[in-house]
Amino acid sequence: MVVMRRMSEITLFDYWRSSASYRVRIALNLKQLDYSIVGVDLLKGEHKNKVYLNLHPQGLVPAIKIDGEIFTQSLAIIEYLEDLFPDVALLPKDAKGRARVRALSFAVAMEIHPVCNLSVVNDVVDMVDGDNQDRIDWMQKYIRAGLEAFEAYLDHSSTGLFCHGDQPSMADCCLVPQLYNAQRWGAEFSDLKMISAIHQECMDMDAFKKAYPDETDMIMSEMMEIDGGCCV
Ligand SMILES: N[C@@H](CCC(=O)N[C@@H](CS)C(=O)NCC(=O)O)C(=O)O
């Protein structure tokens, strides 16, 4: 059977190291969608300029333009992609399964990620007149605690090669970027056996490899040369 895929023009406003952007890159790749990337350099404050704030009033990445319309919030974006392009499913068909995949996704995106957002951590460090070691300690504490809880969630009959069954889902799109972050901050997870096995399984897939931050950085650098560094 030939699957007819509706063609859409998709532009992702992305920062290469943003885990929320990384989630969406994985989802786009899993769904085999073509997209272009516009880099928004958080270090240069490009997410707070007027042009970008018109796209995303919270001044956060990612944002995505699909057929001329802007969408924000990584999980809402992934669910919208799921509605538009259901042939590679990132959410199970059954309501119970969908609730589980959402719970796993939220455990990362709504629990670990907000307290480890760099702007939050920088404020905390400033308030206590702390230093970089305090920043590292904070990151390690909250990432590790979140991942231990995630590992406990995975102790479930629906866990398979991936977080839910034997195909990647939205939960894997959230877990893998969080693990990239864990590695970046030295938060240990190799003893968390189910997480480690799923991580390995994901990293063997092209869709995840292609979304990896350093790969995107390379593509972005090339784009910057082409468009003279104009990001937004
Ligand atoms: N809940 C949002 C989180 C977005 C978010 O926090 N993005 C970070 C990068 S991972 C960001 O733009 N940070 C910029 C800042 O905090 O100033 C989503 O899932 O899209």
| Any domain includes 232 | no
Q: Is residue 113 domain-shared with residue 180, that is, in the same domain?
A: yes
Q: Is residue 223 domain-shared with residue 184, that is, in the same domain?
A: no
Cβ-based neighbour number of residue 13 at 10 Å: 25
182: CATH:
1.20.1050.10
User: What interhelical angle do 74-84 and 170-185 show, nearest 10?
Assistant: 150
**pLDDT confidence tier of residue 127, bands split at 50, 70 and 90:** very high
26: CATH:
3.40.30.10
| Any domain includes 26 | yes
The domain of 199 spans 95-209
| Any domain includes 142 | yes
Q: Which residues contact 76 (CB under 8 A, 6 or more apart)?
A: none
d(CA 218, CA 13): 16
| CB 230 within 8 Å of CB 52 | no
Judged against a pLDDT cut of 80, whether residue 187 lies above it is answered with yes
Nearest 5 degrees, angle CA 198-CA 115-CA 209?
30
Q: Is residue 151 domain-shared with residue 57, that is, in the same domain?
A: no
Question: What is the residue whose two structure tokens read 């102790």?
Answer: 155
Measure CA 142 to chain center: 17
Name residues contacting ligand 1 (CB within 6 A).
18-20, 42, 47, 60-62, 73-75, 109, 117, 119
d(CA 173, CA 163): 10
Q: Is residue 105 domain-shared with residue 197, that is, in the same domain?
A: yes
| Section 141-162 average pLDDT | 98
Q: Atom 1, ligand 1: which residue's CA is nearest?
A: 73
Q: Is residue 82 domain-shared with residue 144, that is, in the same domain?
A: no
Q: Is residue 202 domain-shared with residue 142, that is, in the same domain?
A: yes
For a mutational test of ligand 1's pocket, the pick from 25, 42, 60, i.e. the residue with the most ligand atoms closer than 8 A to its C-beta, is: 60
The dihedral built from the CA positions of residue 182, 183, 187 and 188, taken in this order, carries a sign that is positive
Per-residue model confidence as pLDDT tens digits over 42-91: 989 999 999 999 999 999 999 999 999 999 999 999 999 999 999 999 99
d(CA 97, CA 232): 38
| Any domain includes 5 | no
| CB 190 within 8 Å of CB 147 | no
Taking the CA of residue 119 as reference, the ligand 1 atom at the shortest distance is 16
Judged against a pLDDT cut of 90, whether residue 222 lies above it is answered with no
Q: Is residue 201 domain-shared with residue 138, that is, in the same domain?
A: yes
CA of 4 to the centre of ligand 1 (A): 34
| Any domain includes 61 | yes
pLDDT at 221: 47
Q: Which structure tokens are listed for 150?
A: 């995630």
DSSP secondary structure letter of residue 58 = T
Q: What is the pTM of this model?
A: 0.91
| Any domain includes 1 | no
| Any domain includes 3 | no
φ, ψ of residue 213 to 5 degrees: the values are -50, -40
| Section 142-165 average pLDDT | 98
Q: Is residue 157 domain-shared with residue 112, that is, in the same domain?
A: yes
d(CA 157, CA 112): 24
| Interstrand relation of 36-39 and 10-14 (parallel, antiparallel or unpaired) | parallel
Total of domains in the chain: 2
Judged against a pLDDT cut of 80, whether residue 116 lies above it is answered with yes
Q: Atom 14, ligand 1: which residue's CA is nearest?
A: 60
pLDDT at 7: 75
